[in-house]
Structure 1
Amino acid sequence: MNSSVKYKIRTLLGFTLFIIIVGSLSYLAVYKLSFLPNGYDIVSQQKDSVIVKKFNIIGLEKDIITLSFSENNLWKIEELNYGIKRQKDFCWFLFTASSISILILILKLRKGEKFWNAVWGSRIFFATLFPLLILMNSLNRIQDFIS
């Protein structure tokens, strides 16, 4: 095999391994360790009430909120469940996409590209901004159900 082909295969495998590791660590942080900056997590749920844990900006537990709903508003519990699941999904996507973009930025800077060319080439603004906007929308929706 040609040495350039070996280098490309090795680079591709390394990048794929990095994506798998970052995706797995992000999954563990969000879903198992409940690292949700400014987020919410459901502690327990009964037929007409739900207990929600609120986190602060650094992901530490801030508050526990108990919500009770009337018969007419039981649909809010399902919507709250959906909103919190969606918030976790987008938090995972934000962590994973940002980490991958940071790796690409570092690789481009090590190649000798200028800083702003490397920033544009890594698409770090898009990888961070779009999931962050959707995450903020999801958090606002959850906040509307809680208040």
Structure 2
Amino acid sequence: MDMRTRIAAALKDAMKNREAERLATLRLINAAIKDKDIALRGEGREDGVGDAEVLAILGRMVKQRQESARAYEEGGRLDLAERERAEIAVIETFLPRPLSDDEVEAAVSETIENLEAASIRDMGRVMGALKEKYTGRMDFAVVGPMVKARLG
């Protein structure tokens, strides 16, 4: 089942079960996906957003909410921070399990070997391959410096 179908089914379930907070978050997810669809149509891509792009959207949504929750906590607005965390919990139900540190190390090593990457010039190819295979499962802000250190 593709991501859009899973999200649509969850939306229907939330409506049936009258889960207002979950429903609001699912509608935000749908809106973000539709925005990306519209942007892609403007670029000439009629097929719309694929599963990998949906995972990227969900990943960005989680990061935004984590930053907001942190800011709310610093401002003493714990009620709003909790609301952000509740949204994170709903969004994360659609994300695959993140890789452990050891699994990330192994994936980076394997990708470097498979691409026969030898210098920093190959970093773009390595990062592209990792993003293609592991979108939503690893933090590329952490992986980037790791790959750079290995190739540099």
The answer to which structure has the higher helix fraction is 2
Structure label with greater radius of gyration: 1
User: Normalising by structure 2, what TM-score?
Assistant: 0.24
Q: Give the TM-score of the pair, scaled to structure 1.
A: 0.24
Task: Identify the structure with the greater strand proportion.
Answer: 1
